[in-house]
């Protein structure tokens, strides 16, 4: 909008009160700088093997992923479900907080 003004390192919109940085954050590859940790705080990487630490019900299905199930060769992706994996029950996106490194 035409009413925005600089204030320190930010621009401010007086109409809505929104603030944003003057120097736009550089858009780099999603993998750069992303650290995914398991339930114990160990750093996960592509190709690691992990074990489920909790029974997980699959939404929209009667399938339950059982505690202690080992998952081999994980792949890290962006989003709130950071781990993409292939299991006997199918392909799943899991949160790292329910996994521990094997």
Residue numbers of the chain with a pLDDT score lower than 70: 1, 24-33
Residues of CATH 2.30.30.40 domain(s) within the chain? Answer: 31-101
> For the segment 46-55, what is each residue's pLDDT rounded down to a tens digit?
999 999 999 9
Q: Calculate the alpha carbon distances from 72 to 22, 69, 96 in Å.
A: 44, 10, 14
Please give the CATH superfamily to which domain 31-101 belongs: SH3 Domains (2.30.30.40)
The answer to whether the predicted template modeling score (pTM) of the entire model surpasses 0.75 is: no
């Amino acid at each position: 909008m035409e009413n925005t003004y600089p204030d320190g390192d930010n621009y401010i919109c007086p109409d809505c009160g929104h603030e944003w940085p003057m120097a736009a954050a550089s858009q780099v590859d999603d993998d750069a700088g992303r650290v995914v940790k398991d339930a114990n705080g160990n750093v996960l990487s592509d190709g690691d093997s992990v074990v489920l630490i909790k029974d997980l019900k699959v939404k929209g299905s009667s399938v339950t992923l059982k505690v202690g199930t080992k998952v081999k060769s994980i792949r890290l992706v962006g989003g709130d479900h950071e781990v993409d994996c292939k299991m006997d029950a199918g392909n799943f996106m899991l949160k790292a907080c329910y996994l521990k490194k094997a």
